[in-house]
Amino acid sequence: MSKQTTRREVLKGGAALAGLGALGFPQWGLPALAQGETLVQFTDLPEQIVLERTPDRRIIEIRDIDGSLTPANKWFTTQHYGHPVVDHATFRLRVSGLVNTPLALSLADIRALPSRELVFGFECSGNRGPQNGLSSNGRWTGVSLRTVLERAGIKDTAQEFVFFGADRGEEDVDFRGSITKVEQQYGRSLRRYQALSDEPMLAYALNGDPLTVHQGSPLRLLVPGWYGAPNVKWVSDIRVQEDQYLGKFQTHWYRTLKGEMIDGEMKWVESGISKMRLKSYVARVTKMGNQHKVFGVILHDGTPIKSVEVRIDDGPWQAATLDPSTSEKYSWKFFTYDWRGATPGEHTVTSRATDTSGYMQPTSEELEVKKTFLEQNNQHPRKLIIA
């Protein structure tokens, strides 16, 4: 191979040489290594993880991340009710409720509106170590939510904006112990100031191609800096109302219970998930000659990153370097760290990020007051063996 060979070509060549493609293994199953570089085995992750659990669910292999944008066919994906069938020809985005002009926009109508792009990476609020496979990063194209809402004309009394997907499922709704079975659509809401801000968008393309069914074709909501759940896929209805929306996925399923010290007293607080809590993790450690390199990922709500540090075992925290290819505000961020003098044997490699608000990624001990597993952004000590 020539010196100019890209890492991606090495990846493809490797897959072809090993015949993995023919056996039906995803090309994603090979790490993104430079020539002469080898992967250091993690002992807190199996050598090979199952990337596709069902046809509609997929995680990423963090050790194989080889570019800032995750290709559509590798994007992590999940949902509650499977994939709905949406006919693009008859599709209409309906905007109803407290609006001056109810809308029913075709895809052509939406594509005719001024478009914008957004690099945005997010994780499922249930994403956690050691695997951390429920996150990806993409360049999205679509229209500002506000553009659509302004076309409808929002009444002064409107406070709550509810986004429904075309996907439906049956739910048991409990009211004081009596259960009613209802069919409902996946739904999430935003408050007025959030919906009418410049940020949220209705996306129809990912990395320059129309959305795939996995990512919500033909249209999805994106709320930059927030966890996955609010990014409603297959969005088909926007209902504008005064009352708070209390649907299952808004108020019940995606929530966190944690202890908080308030005026010197420990209180139990339940809150919904919205903005991503700052997280970093070590995704890959590689060896070239006797040099070792640590590569990691940061997920965050868009607040600028002040620092990211790495520590080996119980050693001092050392500054790692942010990768300039991931500098867009809402992109996930990459960092690298040159690990000098690595000694043979077992080690832990831990990262921690701090943002400019002063928030530092917590340790797992500090997160023990959180009793539910969402928003699990603790520092994760990666375990590995240097040969």
Ligand X SMILES: Nc1nc2c(c(=O)[nH]1)N[C@H]1C(S)=C(S)[C@@H](COP(=O)(O)O)O[C@H]1N2
Question: By the criterion CB under 6 A, which residues form the site for ligand X?
Answer: 75-80, 124, 165, 167, 186, 214-215, 228-229, 231-234
Dihedral sign of CA atoms 363, 367, 372, 374 in order: negative
Which is closer to ligand X, CB of 232 or CB of 278? 232
* 138, 225, 228, 230: which one binds Mo ion (CB under 5 A): 228
What is the spatial distance between Cα 215 and Cα 92, in angstroms, rounded to a whole number? Answer: 18
- For residue 137, what are its two tokens? 């990063």
Q: Is 124 in the site for Mo ion (CB under 5 A)?
A: yes
Q: Which is nearer to Mo ion, 228 or 381 (CB)?
A: 228
Instruction: In angstroms, give the least distance from the CB of 322 to ligand X.
Output: 24
What does 79 bind: ligand X, Mo ion, none (CB cut-off 5 to 8 Å by kind)?
ligand X
From ligand X, Mo ion, none, interface partner of 165 (C-beta below 5 to 8 A by class): ligand X
Residue nearest to Mo ion as judged by C-beta position: 124
Please report which residue ranges of 67-204 form alpha helices under DSSP H. 107-111, 145-152, 192-195
Residue of 381, 383, 90, 384 lying closest to 218 (CA atoms): 90
Q: How far is the CB of 226 from ligand X (least distance, A)?
A: 10
**Least separation, in Å, of the C-beta of 167 and ligand X?**
5
Selected range binding Mo ion among 20-28, 112-120, 220-228, 260-268, rule: CB under 5 A: 220-228
Q: Please, which residue, 158 or 232, has the CB nearer to ligand X?
A: 232
Which pair of structure tokens corresponds to residue 300? Answer: 């965050």
Alpha carbon distance 203, 200 (integer Å): 9
Site size for Mo ion, by CB under 5 A?
A: 3
Q: Which does 161 bind (CB under 5 to 8 A by kind): ligand X, Mo ion, none?
A: none
Tokens coding 386: 């240097």
In terms of CB distance, is 53 or 340 closer to ligand X?
A: 53
Is 26:367 a contact under the CB 8 Å cutoff?
A: no
Other Cβ atoms within 10 Å of 258 Cβ, number = 16
- β-pair partners for 297: 281, 334
Distances in Å between the Cα of 205 and the Cα atoms of 59, 165, 181, 228, 233 are 20, 17, 36, 17, 12
Residues near Mo ion (CB under 5 A): 124, 228-229
